[in-house]
């Protein structure tokens, strides 16, 4: 039996989660994720670093194995799916608001290569009962007013037309949350690159306002039968996007 190895960003996202998990077999697992997002309100006319501190805690009486190396956002397409993913949904409370997550690719080749079950086992991280796994995710909030309109065109973001940007409303009016970067790093990139958002995981927000982040983690391997199957849904996290 062989699995698939990721190529590409290698980003593992543990975002805004606090919940109890349930096994696909119906057995209570009571795996808890707690998160702190700072800040939870993002400014209207300034870029700002967004830091998400997340703690995964095993409240069960048995060890639980997770696979951060093989977990990706559900909308990341440059990696081969291992059946482990984060599904992040930003739902607008403000009328007319829509948020859409995309990977803006620069690589369009094959998404992965086979690896052995042994390598998959080595990648597993065991959480013993009562133990925690702490993760920090860095992102950057950029309001629309600070983005060059040309950098938000479909031609700049998706020159091959393969990243499904046509379904995002008001693309050129969007503000963005960019994963895996920081204010200092991205400022330099903006000065040097006419399409600075490419090669990043990005959430496009069509309008400012209040949004609720709903997140689900799924561990549903299809090629590695020794990996435990379960899914978990987060408690909603309230955010104020693009307002003072």
Rounded Cα–Cα distance for residues 6 and 67 (Å)? 12
Looking at the predicted structure, is the pLDDT value of residue 114 above 70?
no
Residue 136 is predicted with a pLDDT of 77
Instruction: Enter the tokens of residue 240.
Output: 């104020």
Rounded Cα–Cα distance for residues 148 and 122 (Å)? 45
Mean pLDDT value of segment 136-143: 90
User: What pLDDT, in 10s, does the model give residues 30-89?
Assistant: 887 777 778 999 999 999 999 877 677 788 899 989 888 887 777 877 776 678 877 778
- Which one is predicted more confidently, 238 or 19? 238
pLDDT category, 29, cuts 50, 70, 90?
low
User: How many distinct structural domains can be found in the chain?
Assistant: 1
In terms of DSSP bridges, do strands 84-92 and 22-23 run parallel, antiparallel, or are they unpaired? Answer: unpaired
Instruction: Enter the tokens of residue 164.
Output: 């499904």
User: What pLDDT, in 10s, does the model give residues 95-113?
Assistant: 889 999 999 998 787 666 6
Segments forming the whole domain that contains residue 186: 2-241
């Amino acid at each position: 039996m062989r699995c698939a190895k990721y190529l590409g960003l290698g980003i593992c996202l543990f975002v805004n989660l606090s919940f109890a998990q349930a096994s696909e077999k119906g057995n209570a697992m009571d795996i808890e994720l707690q998160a702190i997002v700072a800040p939870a309100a993002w400014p209207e006319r300034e870029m700002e670093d967004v830091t998400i501190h997340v703690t995964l805690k095993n409240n069960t009486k048995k060890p639980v194995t997770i696979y951060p190396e093989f977990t990706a956002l559900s909308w990341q397409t440059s990696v081969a799916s291992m059946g482990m993913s984060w599904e992040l949904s930003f739902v607008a409370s403000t009328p007319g608001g829509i948020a859409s997550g995309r990977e803006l690719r620069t690589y369009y080749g094959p998404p992965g290569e086979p690896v052995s079950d042994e390598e998959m086992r080595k990648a597993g991280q065991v959480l013993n009962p009562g133990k925690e796994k702490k993760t920090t995710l860095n992102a950057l909030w950029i309001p629309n007013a600070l983005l060059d309109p040309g950098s938000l065109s479909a031609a700049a973001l998706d020159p091959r037309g393969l990243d499904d940007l046509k379904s995002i409303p008001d693309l050129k009016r969007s503000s963005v949350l960019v994963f895996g970067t920081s204010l200092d790093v991205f400022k330099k990139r903006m000065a040097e690159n006419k399409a600075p958002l490419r090669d990043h995981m990005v959430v496009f927000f069509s309008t400012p306002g209040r949004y609720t982040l709903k997140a689900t983690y799924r561990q549903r391997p299809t090629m590695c039968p020794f990996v435990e199957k379960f899914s978990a849904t987060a408690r909603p996290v309230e955010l104020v996007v693009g307002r003072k």
